[in-house]
Structures are given as structure tokens and as C-alpha cells.
């Protein structure tokens, strides 16, 4: 989706002569912007040209591989129009020593966490960023781990597969070669006993800063309290933490704290071969593995060109699986939203019951209930076994529609659900776009943006379905929109099951290694949580040079503070439930 078609982009270079230049590297299709003019260009793009949705911000470390090459960091932006269309890719380059880039957070608040992530992992300073702190690693961690010249303690070789795992036939355990027997490393002269961790101060400072006016009306005899929810808390859906500043019971500031499940997905991904990464994508958002597979497959297929075009049958299988995944994820989300409302586990039991039936289909087809590792470049790993397609047909025509109606009947007009959800955590359409919200979050705020329609991929154009949209932008609408989307997905699967053609499920042979030409690609799909995108840079070798995930759960959290200010602690739990985060994806 990086093709540059519309004429406007021609004018972009004309409008900023010498500032914006077309990216001439082979396989790249974006624009390179002069570092100090970035804000200016972005302002014009947002206000005059309609690129109001900043989807992804990430950095790439182009460390020189040969003598005559230059080393630099590049920050890459993917911009879209909220009315649909393909991406505009911008890149700025900054030297590797003292890297600094103007922050786009004042223009696009949705960049806040993404820029913090680039700072955390690459050490790039974003000038004018309101809250420049580490986000995934803790304050005090040594080094910027995603830099190509930073090595972790268990580092063995630059790329996989490693030469020999069992030298001399002996079992090889890397921990045996570390002095402390763990994957730890310490700088020279480090004295553990005089170390004092300073992690929390920065966080609390930032909490108080975002409420700076408060200190000035000090004559009132009140005190604000900081409350920490999590990381071990039953309502945070995993290991997520929120530091909340409260005035009485009202929230005045809130900072999400994440990274408790930061599993170094991207660092490991850049060492893996392209195919190696497929099972890792399963573990991003582990409720929607097949959607994640889809996005990654699209990104790499785009780089592969003609060799990576999936067969017709494969496209149908992909759509069926992705939509079933959406159904199961939304069921789960609804069940656990009710959990957060205090209806402990009973509604979830209903939701999980249906999800198990879908998992049975996944297990029969892919071999695993959750970690499916099913997509391949140019198709899928295997066809449906006998009887499964009929079973899917049965489910989507007989059982699921009735069960969704049942959930609807039990919950939608329940008085407690309505009073606790209506008007809570409101996000207006403009705010939703500003904060780069995606998926149900965006559509519940009245923005009918669905990647399946706005920038169609695979064969979604051939199906008849509506983009669900609701207009209040509160928790209740986010619940309703999930029900709507389940119904639309059922419609899609019904059509797909009827029309699926015979044929091969994979183009060519199931490869052990794929050849991926040099270049960059951004593959994105409409996942159940929102737009999940994979930014892949290849330099023609067997491993991706850069592998980045645009994680919808992570970016959707940017607006959490906005949605929570002014409400009560009990509502925070509900708002968080309505965002439907999965920590594997938030922290990666």
C-alpha cells in the first residue's frame, strides 16, 4: 500500500522544493524530508492535503555495513487520510551521534507513545515532546537495545539460523557461559551495592506535571493522592499498570506504565529469517493470531512481488480464518468487559463457550488452538481438513447468529450495563483521529474507517458487508460496535464459505527460506483491535533489516488519559476494558 498515485504528491515536491525529495533507494517509495522542516511539512499535510491520520512512527538504524557507506538513523512516518486511500510515507534522517528529530506530538497527539518508544529503543531524542521518558524498558536501563550495535547478554550471532547449537555433540546451554548464570550483563566498574534505582520519580514527576495548575491553588485544604493500579491487578488484563493522580475520587491525571511484557519481539525478529517470524507474530496479540499472520504475510508478499501472490483459494481461506478470529476476539472482549463491570465471569463463560467452538476449528485446521502459525507467503500452510468447511458453515448459519442475539438480549438493555457504560470514556471523532485510534475505538466515535474498505487488501472488495459505525464514542458504543462487527463478520464468512473455489492453497512449494528483494513495505490489515501493521525493511539478505509492528492496542492507549480524566477510579477499569488491550501486543 505504498504506491504513490495521486497527483497531489507530485505537488508535494513542487511545494517544498529542496525540502521534500523522492526516496531514490531501490524498493523505497516514500519521501525524504529535511530534518528541520519536518513540522512545517507535516502541518501542510495535515491541514491542507488531508493526511490527518498518523498511523505509524518508527525508527530504523541504518548502520553502515561497508566502509564507504554512511550510518544514520531514519524515522519513518506513515500518514493516511481518514477518508480512505493509500499511505504517504515520510522519512527523516538524523546522524547516529546525538540523534534528534522534531516531535510531531503537538500536531498528531497519537505519536506520543510511538515517539517515546523510538526514544527508548533507539535513543533518538524528539525535541518538544511533552513527556520524553522511557516507555518499555525501565529508567536506568543501560543502552538503547534496538540499535544494531547493541548486544544483549545472550547474543550469539547476528542472524539465524545459528551455526552449531551442539558443538561436539554436547548439549549447549548459554547460561553456563554467563558468570551469574542468567541473561544479565553489567558495565565495567558497576557497583551493585551503591546503586539506587530512580525509576518511579520520573513517572510521578510526569503525573504531577500534567496537572501543574493544581499547585497554584494551594490554599485549599485538600491533597491529591497517587494510586497505582497494577501491574498485578485482576482488571488490567495482564501486566499493565496505571499510575493515577486523584483528587478525592476524581481522576486528574493518569499515566499508563507498560513494558512488563516487553519480550523484545522486534530485536528477535530482526535476527530471525522472514519465515521464522510467522510464529512470533502469533504471540503479539495472542487472541487474534491469525489476523497478525495476515498482516505480516501481506507486508512480506508486497516485497516479494509476483512470487508472493496467493492463490484464489488461499485468499478465501485467509478471509474465513481472519473473520472467525475477529468473532472470537470480540466475544472475548465483550465477556471481559462485563467482568470489569463486576459481572464476574458469568457473561465470560457464555462468550468463552462460543470461542471454544471456534478454537476447535483453528485446532483442526492449523494444529493449534491459539498459536496457529498458519499463513505462508503466497498462501497458507495447509488446506481445511475434511468436514471443517461444513462445520464452519453450520456455525455461521445456525449457531453463532443465535448466540450473538442471545448475548445481545442478556446484556444490551441491562440496566447496570447501561448506567455504567453510557457517557463514560467519551472520545469525539476529531480526538479519535488525532490520537490515531484504530478499529472499534475509532468507529465507535463516529469515524467510519475500516481498512477493509478504506484501503482494501486481499479479496475484501468482493464481499458484501457494512462498516459498523456508532456515534457516541463512549464505552457503551464500543460494546455495541463489537456486536455489530461480529454480525458483519458472520455475513462475510457465510458468503466466503459458499463461494470458496477449489484449487491450491499455496503458490509454489512450501518454502523453508524465502527470497525477499531489498526495499521497504508496510502491510496492514483491519485486525479485531484495529489496524495492525507490519513495517518490514529488507536489504536482500535472508533476514529483515528492520521489523516493526504497528500495534493497535499500544497506540489506542495513547488516549487513555484523555478518556479517563474527570471520571472515577471504577470507571477507569471499564474504560480500559472497552479499549480491549492485549498486553502481548502493547509491549511486544
Partner 1 sequence: MTETPNLNTEGYDISPEARANVAITTIDKIFNAGRRYSVWPMMFGLACCAIEMISAAAGRYDLARFGMEVLRPSPRQSDLMIVSGTVTKKMLPQIVRLYNQMPDPKYVMAMGACASGGGPFKEGYNVVSGVDKYIPVDVYVPGCPPTPQALLHGLMKIQEKIDTEKHFTNFRDRTKPIEPIPVPILGPDIIDPRDYETIKDGVKSGPLTTVIPAVE
Q: Which residues bind partner 1 (CB under 8 A)?
A: 136-138, 140-142, 145, 151-156, 163-164, 167-168, 174-175, 177-193, 195, 197, 199, 231-234, 238-239, 259-265, 267-268, 271, 279-280, 283, 286-287, 348-349, 352-353, 356, 369-371, 583-584
Beta strands, E only, 7-71: 20-22, 31-33, 53-62
User: Kind of pairing, strands 100-102 and 88-95?
Assistant: unpaired
| Minimum gap (Å) between residue 256 Cβ and partner 1 | 14
| Minimum gap (Å) between residue 284 Cβ and partner 1 | 10
Which CB atom, from 177 or from 209, has the smaller least distance to partner 1?
177
| Minimum gap (Å) between residue 104 Cβ and partner 1 | 27
Tell me if the bond preceding 161 is cis, omega within 30° of 0: yes
Give the C-alpha separation, 522 to 283, whole Å: 20
Which CB atom, from 18 or from 197, has the smaller least distance to partner 1?
197
Adjacent-strand bridge partners of 125 = 100
Give the C-alpha separation, 249 to 349, whole Å: 32
Which CB atom, from 1 or from 135, has the smaller least distance to partner 1?
135
| Minimum gap (Å) between residue 537 Cβ and partner 1 | 21
The stretches of 3-147 forming alpha helices (DSSP H) are: 8-15, 38-47, 112-122
| Minimum gap (Å) between residue 586 Cβ and partner 1 | 11
The C-alpha angle 38, 39, 42, rounded to 5 degrees, equals: 85
Q: Are 473 and 434 in contact (CB under 8 A)?
A: no
Residue 230 Cα distances to 141, 244, 510, angstroms: 21, 11, 44
State phi, psi for 235 to the nearest 5 degrees. Answer: -100, 5
Which CB atom, from 369 or from 562, has the smaller least distance to partner 1?
369
| Minimum gap (Å) between residue 44 Cβ and partner 1 | 39
Which CB atom, from 38 or from 229, has the smaller least distance to partner 1?
229
Adjacent-strand bridge partners of 506 = 379
| Minimum gap (Å) between residue 11 Cβ and partner 1 | 45
Which CB atom, from 73 or from 280, has the smaller least distance to partner 1?
280
Residue 424 Cα distances to 15, 256, 415, angstroms: 44, 18, 15
User: Kind of pairing, strands 125-127 and 31-33?
Assistant: unpaired
State the angle between helix axes of 400-411 and 312-341 in degrees (0 to 180), rounded to the nearest 10: 20
Which CB atom, from 389 or from 582, has the smaller least distance to partner 1?
582
Amino acid at each position: 500500500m505504498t504506491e504513490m498515485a495521486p497527483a497531489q504528491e507530485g505537488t508535494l515536491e513542487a511545494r517544498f522544493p529542496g525540502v521534500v525529495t523522492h526516496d531514490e533507494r531501490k524498493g523505497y517509495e516514500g519521501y525524504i524530508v529535511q530534518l528541520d522542516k519536518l513540522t512545517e511539512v507535516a502541518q501542510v499535510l495535515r491541514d491542507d492535503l488531508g493526511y490527518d491520520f498518523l498511523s505509524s512512527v518508527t525508527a530504523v538504524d541504518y548502520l553502515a555495513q561497508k566502509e564507504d557507506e554512511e550510518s544514520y538513523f531514519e524515522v519513518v512516518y506513515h500518514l493516511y487520510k481518514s477518508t480512505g486511500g493509500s499511505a504517504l510515507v515520510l522519512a527523516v534522517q538524523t546522524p547516529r551521534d546525538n540523534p534528534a528529530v522534531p516531535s510531531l506530538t503537538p500536531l498528531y497527539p497519537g505519536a506520543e507513545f510511538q515517539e517515546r518508544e523510538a526514544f527508548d529503543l533507539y535513543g533518538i531524542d524528539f525535541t518538544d515532546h511533552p513527556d520524553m521518558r522511557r516507555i518499555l524498558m525501565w529508567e536506568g536501563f543501560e543502552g538503547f537495545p534496538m540499535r544494531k550495535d547493541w548486544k544483549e547478554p545472550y547474543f550469539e550471532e547476528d542472524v539465524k539460523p545459528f551455526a552449531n547449537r551442539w558443538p561436539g555433540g554436547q548439549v549447549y546451554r548459554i547460561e553456563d557461559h554467563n558468570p551469574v548464570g542468567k541473561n544479565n550483563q553489567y558495565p565495567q566498574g558497576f557497583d551493585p551495592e551503591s546503586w539506587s534505582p530512580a525509576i518511579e520519580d520520573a513517572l510521578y514527576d510526569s503525573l504531577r506535571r500534567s496537572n501543574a495548575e493544581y499547585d497554584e491553588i494551594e490554599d485549599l485544604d485538600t491533597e491529591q493522592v497517587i494510586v497505582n493500579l497494577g501491574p498485578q491487578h485482576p482488571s488490567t488484563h495482564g501486566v499493565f499498570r496505571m499510575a493515577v493522580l486523584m483528587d478525592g475520587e476524581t481522576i486528574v491525571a493518569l499515566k499508563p506504565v507498560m513494558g512488563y511484557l516487553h519480550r523484545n519481539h522486534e530485536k528477535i525478529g530482526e535476527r530471525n529469517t522472514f519465515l521464522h517470524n510467522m510464529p512470533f507474530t502469533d504471540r503479539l496479540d495472542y487472541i487474534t493470531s491469525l489476523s497478525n499472520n495476515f498482516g505480516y504475510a501481506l507486508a512480506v508478499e508486497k516485497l516479494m512481488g509476483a512470487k508472493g501472490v496467493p492463490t484464489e483459494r488461499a485468499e478465501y481461506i485467509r478471509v474465513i480464518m481472519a473473520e472467525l478470529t475477529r468473532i472470537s476476539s470480540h466475544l472475548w472482549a465483550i465477556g471481559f468487559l462485563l467482568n470489569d463491570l463486576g459481572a464476574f465471569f458469568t457473561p465470560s463463560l457464555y462468550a468463552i463457550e462460543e470461542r471454544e467452538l471456534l478454537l476447535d476449528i483453528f485446532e483442526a485446521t492449523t494444529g493449534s488452538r491459539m498459536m496457529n502459525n498458519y499463513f505462508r507467503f503466497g498462501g497458507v500452510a495447509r488446506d481445511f481438513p475434511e468436514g471443517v468447511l461444513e462445520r464452519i458453515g453450520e456455525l455461521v448459519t445456525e449457531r453463532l447468529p443465535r448466540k450473538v442475539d442471545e448475548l445481545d438480549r442478556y446484556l444490551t438493555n441491562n440496566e447496570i450495563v447501561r448506567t455504567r457504560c453510557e457517557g463514560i470514556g467519551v472520545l469525539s471523532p476529531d480526538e479519535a483521529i488525532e490520537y490515531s485510534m484504530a478499529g472499534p475505538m475509532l468507529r465507535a466515535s463516529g469515524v467510519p474507517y475500516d481498512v477493509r474498505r478504506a484501503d482494501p487488501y486481499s479479496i475484501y472488495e468482493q464481499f458484501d458487508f457494512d462498516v459498523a459505525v456508532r456515534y457516541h464514542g463512549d464505552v457503551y458504543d464500543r460494546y455495541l460496535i463489537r456486536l455489530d462487527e461480529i454480525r458483519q463478520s458472520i455475513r462475510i464468512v457465510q458468503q466466503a464459505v459458499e463461494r470458496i473455489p477449489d484449487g491450491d492453497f499455496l503458490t509454489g512449494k512450501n518454502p523453508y527460506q524465502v527470497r525477499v528483494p531489498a526495499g521497504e513495505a508496510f502491510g496492514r490489515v483491519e485486525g479485531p483491535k484495529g489496524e495492525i501493521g507490519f513495517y518490514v525493511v529488507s536489504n536482500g539478505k535472508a533476514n529483515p533489516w528492520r521489523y516493526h509492528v504497528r500495534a493497535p492496542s499500544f497506540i489506542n492507549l495513547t488516549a487513555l488519559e484523555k478518556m479517563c480524566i474527570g471520571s472515577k477510579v471504577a470507571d477507569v477499569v471499564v474504560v480500559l476494558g472497552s479499549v480491549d488491550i492485549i498486553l502481548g501486543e502493547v509491549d511486544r
